[in-house]
């Protein structure tokens, strides 16, 4: 029997199963996208100011309904759940930590554990408490110390309940959307501010890592890194190739290299390939007739295998912390899921230590500026009644999780 560095059994069983026993098959959500009523954060204000196509409002009422949602995830056969804490609930005013809210999230992690579900907890998933955004958000003086204090309090509350901790979700997406494109809070379009924000988010992670590591040696710490598979639109063009290489370095590698000594595992969020035409430009699709998701993104499972290969340089276990599709047609979702799981399997067969896969998302939810139209969920949410309905893709994914096999019985 083999053990990987996180102590999972069964790499030697790969030929019999497609995924080893103990592989973490799960699904992910984030607080603001599913909880509802997060009226003390920057996104709430952004929505009211017209920055999103819908108001998040009651979202999926997951703050109250999490026991039934975790039970549903478990009933499918999944063995892990990635969710996030809402900083604005936990620290509604600077330095005032709400014990009740810390207990709420500890209870969520314990509810997972009680059902044999591994909780994977994200501490920061895009939203900021209003008091911090009013002072300048990520770039506010002292924001690093504030973030580290919040993470320290959160980790103390999660001690013994959660092992996998993700400090920050997709720092470079936050920089891109909030400081380059200006379509998310704080709505800036400034390269100098973007560079400063990226550097500050490196400090946030390092400070949080040090704070948590000092008190909780058993926790496994990382980030969830959004990775775009940058490819030259025209492989014959030197300008396209140079552009792809630069964007790959700046977006995919720079942050991970900056925090390379402060990670126990790598969290990978992967969705699609982007076709690059210059140092700063690119298009989501190689051609107009290429299949795409409801977000307009390309569908490119081979990009996931390439991403996993690219992460080899960090010599750490890798968890796919997000991968999924917004699709009206659940058949398209299932095809995407199967093809991307096959892409993970291909990487594992090359010896890349992937320890889990979290589909985005468990529930149809609030897709930030795009509102509620894109449906990523394994579980459909009726927006009027909040009724949960498992989609066939969710059932099939659960079967894969239970058996560790990708092929249907009798299939190849």
How many residues form the binding site for ligand IFM (CB under 6 A)? 7
Shortest distance, CB of residue 297 to ligand IFM, whole angstroms?
Answer: 9
Asked if 322 is part of the footprint of ligand IFM (rule: CB under 6 A), the reply reads: yes
* C-beta of 275 vs 359, nearer to ligand IFM: 359
Site for ligand IFM in 13-32 (CB under 6 A): 30
- Nearest Cα neighbor of 157 from 206, 184, 125, 119 is 119
Shortest distance, CB of residue 34 to ligand IFM, whole angstroms?
Answer: 10
DSSP 289: T
Active site residue 170: yes
* C-beta of 160 vs 291, nearer to ligand IFM: 291
Pairing type for strands 80-84 and 379-381 reads unpaired
Site string for ligand IFM, 218-247 (x = CB under 6 A): ------------------------------
Pairing type for strands 118-124 and 388-390 reads unpaired
* C-beta of 43 vs 404, nearer to ligand IFM: 43
Query: Who's near 228: CB < 8 A, 6+ residues apart?
Result: 247, 251, 252, 271, 272, 273, 274
Q: Which of 360, 381, 393, 400 touches ligand IFM (CB under 6 A)?
A: 360
Element at 153 (helix H, strand E)? helix 143-158
Taking only Cα atoms into account, the Rg of the chain, rounded to an integer number of angstroms, comes to 20
Asked if 47 is part of the footprint of ligand IFM (rule: CB under 6 A), the reply reads: no
Catalytic residue among 35, 86, 91, 170: 170
Shortest distance, CB of residue 180 to ligand IFM, whole angstroms?
Answer: 17
Cα angle 56-60-61, degrees, rounded to a multiple of 5: 100
* C-beta of 134 vs 329, nearer to ligand IFM: 329
Shortest distance, CB of residue 294 to ligand IFM, whole angstroms?
Answer: 11
* C-beta of 30 vs 263, nearer to ligand IFM: 30
Q: Compute the distance between CA of residue 408 and CA of residue 336 in angstroms, rounded to an integer.
A: 16
Site for ligand IFM in 163-192 (CB under 6 A): 170
Q: How far is CA 122 from CA 8, 94, 178, 354, 392, in A?
A: 22, 20, 20, 19, 28
Q: How far is CA 397 from CA 25, 143, 271, 369, in A?
A: 9, 40, 18, 28
Shortest distance, CB of residue 360 to ligand IFM, whole angstroms?
Answer: 5
- Nearest Cα neighbor of 58 from 381, 391, 369 is 381
- Nearest Cα neighbor of 362 from 117, 51, 17, 38 is 117
DSSP 57-74: TTTT-HHHHHHHHHHHHH
Tokens of 208: 């949080």
Asked if 367 is part of the footprint of ligand IFM (rule: CB under 6 A), the reply reads: yes
Asked if 101 is part of the footprint of ligand IFM (rule: CB under 6 A), the reply reads: no
Shortest distance, CB of residue 194 to ligand IFM, whole angstroms?
Answer: 18
Q: Which of 133, 269, 273, 293 touches ligand IFM (CB under 6 A)?
A: 269
Q: What residues line the site for ligand IFM (CB under 6 A)?
A: 30, 33, 170, 269, 322, 360, 367
Active site residues: 170
């Amino acid at each position: 029997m083999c053990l990987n560095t996180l102590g999972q059994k069964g790499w030697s069983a790969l030929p019999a199963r497609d995924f080893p026993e103990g592989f973490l098959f799960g699904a992910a959500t984030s607080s603001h996208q599913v909880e509802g009523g997060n009226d003390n954060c920057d996104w709430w204000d952004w929505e009211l100011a017209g920055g999103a196509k819908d108001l998040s409002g009651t979202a999926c009422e997951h703050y109250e309904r999490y026991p039934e949602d975790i039970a549903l995830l478990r009933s499918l056969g999944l063995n892990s759940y990635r969710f996030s804490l809402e900083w604005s609930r936990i620290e509604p005013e600077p330095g005032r930590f709400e014990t009740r809210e810390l207990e709420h999230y500890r209870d969520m992690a314990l509810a997972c554990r009680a059902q044999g579900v591994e909780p994977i907890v994200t501490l920061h998933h895009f939203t900021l408490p209003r008091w911090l955004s009013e002072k300048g958000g990520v770039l506010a003086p002292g924001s690093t110390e504030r973030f580290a204090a919040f993470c320290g309090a959160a980790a103390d509350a999660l001690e013994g309940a959660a092992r996998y901790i993700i400090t920050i979700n997709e720092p470079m997406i936050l920089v891109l959307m909030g400081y380059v494109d200006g379509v998310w809070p704080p709505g800036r379009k400034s390269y100098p501010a973007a560079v400063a924000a990226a550097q500050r988010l490196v400090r946030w992670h390092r400070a949080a890592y040090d704070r948590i590591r000092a008190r909780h040696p058993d926790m496994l710490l990382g980030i969830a890194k959004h990775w775009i598979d940058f490819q030259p639109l025209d492989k014959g063009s030197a300008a396209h190739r140079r552009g792809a290489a630069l964007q790959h370095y700046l977006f995919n590698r720079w942050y991970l290299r900056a925090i390379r000594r402060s990670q126990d595992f790598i969290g990978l969020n992967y969705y699609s390939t982007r076709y690059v035409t210059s140092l700063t430009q690119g298009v989501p699709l190689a051609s107009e007739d290429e299949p795409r998701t409801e977000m307009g993104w390309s569908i490119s499972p081979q990009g996931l295998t390439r991403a996993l290969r690219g992460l080899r340089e960090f010599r750490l276990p890798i968890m796919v912390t997000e991968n999924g599709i917004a699709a009206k047609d659940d058949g398209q979702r299932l095809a995407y899921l199967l093809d991307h799981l096959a892409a993970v399997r291909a990487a594992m067969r090359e010896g890349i230590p992937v320890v889990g896969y979290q589909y985005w998302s468990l529930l149809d939810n609030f897709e930030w500026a795009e509102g509620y139209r894109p449906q990523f969920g394994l579980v459909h949410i009726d927006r009027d009644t909040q009724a949960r309905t498992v989609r066939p893709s969710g059932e099939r994914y659960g079967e894969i999780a239970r058996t560790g096999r990708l092929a249907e019985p009798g299939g190849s």
